[in-house]
Chains A and B, each alone.
Chain A
């Protein structure tokens, strides 16, 4: 492409649009289905499918450990995985603001293509629009996954006696982004990653997986509280068991943030019978992005005196207890 910035002309639907699609998207995403360049993608498949969609409006577009392209694949792929689906196809819609550097777009697209390959999905349809603005970029992805062997993973299956696991450290993505926005130098990298290998290994293990969620916006506490409420059980977790890197811990201490409420983009919560917890930790640790897997707590029923159905209770390092809630408003850094 001759020009180095996106202009309104790239969204006209004419020659410039075709050239943008050919030189940036088609090359990176190349596959047989997309190559047909028809109005819609036709793909084989039957049985039970999972569908989801997510939009990505992250600032900055490139951040330590990832970028908006990688994020746009991981977010949608991980949502499919959490219901036990095998992610198959993605669509992507790009909304570009005029003034965007074509090189930045190219990097994001390259990163999307690489991440899709890693996650084992095909990008089969796409769309691009250009709007007035200041060089921003927004991506929507929708995904389809196949559910095999009548897998049924949902919060409705959570039982008293289940163990609560996380696949690794909390808050990395959120801290990496905030650090970048605030120009604070840290070694923290985003954890954005597709969890395909991890979930495939769990599904193949034959373990009785009750519920899975990826820990994104709102953080761990929000996910756990929602699961406790929808299953009408009581979740009890140990503060000291929550994995947080020393760097993220220090960063949170500095800004008055709480790792319980910070987002990730490549971590999951798994709930399954306690007897199978140890095996699950071993499997997750043996798969990519699962090094830090650990048990953080347990699910209780009404018979236990540990709070009411729907409660999320954290046991503190000094032996106290507190009831936690979903994230309230946005996490604004405090004054001192």
Chain B
């Protein structure tokens, strides 16, 4: 089917209202970047979900990183977009300004070289992410175990998508369809969403990140309204089974655990932690359950669950901006509030 037919269908759609959630931060960014909301009928509502890994990290996790950064002979190593996420009071960037040791890297594997150069320093990687990123941490663990490296540890806040989507179906806004995360699906395989699709009679469209691919997935979802099916609109890279090797590597080092999602609380089985036998590599990831808001008026929780649009938060664009984020959703370029703010998105 050609793109114009799909566009015309989505623009002229006049059936029952449909709430469609994208649960991947890259999709949130791509939807804004491609100007997709303006191409849809007023009856199709796009809702951004909890798909930005730094946005769903609870304050206790950030606070623990801050403690570590301030310790003698300790260095926190992190991806860039975690630097500005507020804990209960401060962010890693603020602590860095106060003399805490925080280094930004582009690949977790960079930590190996750092650890080799400074054997007296303990390097702690802020291991945040979904199914997409966890295999990279498994790769890092392989190296740590193989070479018996003692001065690298992981502070983990690893999350898994299907359990969170199930939680949203039970507790979030009413959703009529999901744009399933493309990158996650590469690892997990598209079939991982089948049980939820069937349980809640909700269609899932696995999508790529180009504008035309997202429109195609939306078309499939609208057409399948009310049907509990998963349709793979990203077959070039996503298979039903996923990357089995990566899945096995993750299994070796990590086990399922309950995980606290910022603003949403603890969701059973929605996380991964290092297995007991590798606990020596853990920098204290267990029991980081506290989730304090920096600003009590922040409504990140309802934004993440699709209950309100970012623009409906009283802080949005006033007290809370990308330069002074009050909640995590305003931090990352993949955060819902950041995306809406920086693209002046209204619908």
Contact = CB atoms under 8 A, between A and B. Distances in A.
B147 interface: no
Contacts of B32: 322
A332 B81 CA distance: 6
B54 A316 contact: no
A275 interface: no
A321 B104 CA distance: 34
A317 B211 contact: yes
B247 interface: no
Interface string B87-120: 0000000000000000010100000000000000
Contacts of A182: 106
Most buried by B among A314, A333, A334, A336: A336
Interface in B311-335: 321-323, 332-334
A319 B133 contact: no
A324 interface: yes
A274 interface: no
A125 to B, nearest CB: 36
B295 interface: no
A316 B33 contact: yes
B145 interface: no
Interface in A170-229: 182, 184
Interface in A281-336: 314-325, 328-329, 331-336
Contacts of B84: 329, 332
Contacts of A258: 33
Contacts of A133: none
B244 to A, nearest CB: 20
B265 interface: no
Contacts of A335: 53-54, 79-82, 128-129, 133, 332
Nearest to A314: B35
A6 B239 CA distance: 59
B223 interface: no
Given A256-B333, A334-B333, A336-B133, A318 B34 contact: yes
B343 A323 contact: yes
Contact of B39 (A318, A324, A325): A318
Given A319-B7, A324-B343, A332 B211 contact: no
B342 A334 contact: no
A35 to B, nearest CB: 46
A319 B39 contact: yes
B79 A333 contact: yes
A99 B37 CA distance: 55
Nearest to A221: B342
A320 B38 contact: yes
A255 interface: yes
Contacts of A184: 106
Contact of A336 (B3, B130, B322): B130
A171 to B, nearest CB: 15
- Listed residue (A182, A258, A319, A321) with the most chain B CB atoms within 10 angstroms of its CB: A319
Given A324-B343, A325-B342, A336 B53 contact: yes
Contact of B183 (A314, A323, A329, A336): A336
Contacts of A322: 32-35, 343-345
Given A318-B39, A319-B7, A320-B39, A328 B322 contact: yes
A228 to B, nearest CB: 13
Interface in B1-51: 3, 7, 25-26, 29, 32-39
Given A329-B322, A335-B82, A318 B183 contact: no
B260 interface: no
Contacts of B222: none
A325 B333 contact: no
B9 to A, nearest CB: 14
Nearest to B213: A318
Given A317-B211, A318-B212, A329-B322, A334 B34 contact: no
B8 to A, nearest CB: 11
B231 interface: no
Interface string B121-159: 000000011101100000000000000000000000000
Contacts of B197: none
B322 A320 contact: no
Contacts of A314: 35
B323 A328 contact: yes
Contacts of B79: 333-335
B196 interface: no
Interface in A212-260: 255-256, 258
B83 interface: yes
A323 to B, nearest CB: 4
Chain A CB within 10 A, most for which of B33, B34, B35: B35
B338 interface: yes
Interface in A54-86: none
Q: In this complex, which of A182, A321, A325, A329 has the most chain B Cβ atoms within 10 angstroms of its Cβ? A: A329
Contact of B129 (A323, A332, A336): A336
A318 B215 contact: yes
Contact of B36 (A256, A320, A331): A320
Nearest to B106: A182
B338 A328 contact: yes
23 contacts: A256-B26, A317-B34, A317-B211, A318-B215, A319-B35, A322-B32, A322-B33, A322-B344, A323-B343, A325-B341, A328-B321, A328-B323, A329-B323, A332-B80, A332-B84, A332-B104, A333-B79, A333-B80, A334-B79, A334-B334, A335-B129, A336-B26, A336-B132
Given A314-B35, A335-B81, 5 more contacts: A317-B34, A319-B7, A322-B345, A332-B83, A336-B26
User: What are the nearest 4 A-B pairs in CB distance?
Assistant: A320-B35, A332-B80, A323-B344, A328-B322
